A and B are shown apart, each in its own frame.
Chain A
């Protein structure tokens, strides 16, 4: 009997204690609630043009965890932020918006753009100019050398964006299975041992297209949109025979995919992008 009462008292104590109310702080833990700084003109521009209409976060302030943290890099210069974003908006977002609608971009655009000032220098002597992760984030490197009059730099940047956006599109609605078989024999993890010219001769638009079917698919899209139809036609003409046939087959599949999967007129999209490139460079 005594034992029971002792246990009872103990239990009572525990129950009473458990009833003690603890108020949890409502402020987020430092560093988990996101970084804070006093918003400036750039932040306002990003909010109006990217975050509010498209739910895209643009990270331009340096954050070591958004990049390879074992590399020396430089943050972006504030002076180039708006020019780079303007090119992104005019050459990538607006053409798609015009042909596929606002809702399309809202749903499918990657949610984070990260701007880095310098390139990433790799130990093998190459440099990385752009990166993307899981359809969510696109990192644009070498932003500090952006110059709207320097076509190769603008094209390289837009190529990265269209490449990654192509991944998001096919992850939502897959491309035809037949495509995977076209250049099967050329896919390799050591794609970097091939030059673009060699890849062209094998019926691939760039060396990077040799990574696998997915990258072959999006490289073809990015090439047709950014480098443009004229460059593509020239490539086909320079590689007659097997390569030419392969490239034309891939082109036709891309055009057809855009029409059937997303009801986008690919030719019109190409024209819009070409016009945007010209407008930006002037």
Chain B
């Protein structure tokens, strides 16, 4: 026994003599420089640039194309706007040793629009947070073809994928057109589009402003919603997270064919073909959505008011003189909701006109707005006020609205009386 202990000790002491070289070969800052240089070389080294998929913390998904060069210049295309998808913007970037090796887009480019604190530029909140996005990113992981980055400030995700030879400078413009194409779903008569795939059926909504896709269905009698951001590509869309329901797996859609006459669309998910039909009634109703929307405390914006019978901006809200946008605040003041129409008045100042009313929720999942009690703010003149009244009258329809969540702080209100009338808030 003692001998074993002794040998054991001997072994241990031998092991203890093993030399470990704790001295680093290089100083930390030298190694840091090497890492930064390697990342920069990788960024520069893609002859066709990189396709960037940005998912801000504030929701949504955006597609970019970046071409980095050795002079710290980067050329950007973006699918934010048609013009941005065809006209590149050159700006600067640099690699920096922050807490993690970081990539800074250090002068203004399309990427910064989403994070711009000015609500008039980003469309974000009035408190100056933009759409809670980033333009300084840490390198999280990298393989030759994919670089994953995380926003230093708002922790948005940015994925850079090496662009292939066939993904040239018109790639983003093609991606933009894909978004327009799938946006056709919103121009059919009724709000509800029923997706049939692999023998299963789902209500599907595509929010082209936020770049989200949602599936609504009853799963063993329980309302189920799946929402994810999508990134547009030249021939289709890629879902940020795949939709899985039993045997049905949807990671992407491609080969969209729109038939305006029959109000149907066909597409392919992986190798499975799918199709949509336009329906007057929902497959499933989200009973809890009205409560989530009302209690979110979020100031919802709408760009164009109601879509009616497939026509966006059906009530011509943009004809309000100096029209800037619509903002819906639940429980705005004195217990009333306010639907504020913002416009630039004749003196060049931003003014608002906000009809006030009450809200209630019904047990069968309807949001009913009622009890119009006059308006806050200043009227934009008789013609403008008539448009506001038309929108308000439609919104205060007695039968109320079904509510469908289409992403973070994004909700669609669909008229119970007539599913041709709906309004998108985000």
Contacts and interface: CB of A to CB of B under 8 A. Distances in A.
A29 B31 CA distance: 11
Given A25-B27, A37-B92, A72-B130, A62 B104 contact: yes
A76 B135 CA distance: 12
A71 B117 contact: yes
Interface in B96-146: 96-97, 104-108, 112, 115-118, 121, 127-130, 132, 135-136
A120 B117 CA distance: 8
Contacts of A7: none
Contact of B91 (A63, A72, A78): A78
Nearest to A117: B108
Nearest to A145: B118
Interface string A26-67: 000111000111101000000000000000000011111000
Interface in A94-131: 117-123, 127
A73 interface: yes
Interface centre among A36, A75, A144 (most CB of B within 10 A): A75
A119 B116 CA distance: 9
A121 B117 contact: yes
Given A62-B107, A72-B128, A144-B108, A37 B94 contact: yes
Contact of A64 (B32, B118, B136): B136
Nearest to B94: A37
A29 B130 CA distance: 35
A120 B115 CA distance: 13
Nearest to A61: B106
A67 to B, nearest CB: 11
A72 B153 contact: yes
Contacts of A30: 29, 32-33, 36, 97
B92 A40 contact: yes
Contact of B29 (A29, A35, A123): A29
Contacts of B135: 62, 74-75
A64 B128 contact: no
Contacts of B117: 71-74, 118-121
A251 interface: no
Contact of A72 (B33, B36, B72, B129): B129
A64 B153 contact: yes
Nearest to B117: A72
Contacts of B92: 37, 40, 61, 78
Interface centre among A40, A74, A127, A144 (most CB of B within 10 A): A74
A31 B35 CA distance: 14
Interface of B: 27, 29-30, 32-33, 36, 70-73, 90-92, 94, 96-97, 104-108, 112, 115-118, 121, 127-130, 132, 135-136, 152-154
Given A29-B29, A35-B94, 6 more contacts: A37-B92, A74-B118, A78-B90, A119-B117, A120-B117, A121-B129
26 contacts: A25-B27, A29-B29, A37-B72, A37-B94, A38-B71, A40-B72, A40-B73, A40-B92, A62-B104, A64-B153, A71-B117, A71-B128, A72-B128, A72-B129, A72-B132, A72-B153, A74-B130, A74-B135, A75-B112, A77-B108, A78-B91, A78-B92, A119-B117, A119-B118, A120-B128, A121-B129
Task: Identify the 4 closest CB pairs spanning chains A and B, nearest first.
Answer: A121-B128, A77-B108, A62-B106, A61-B106
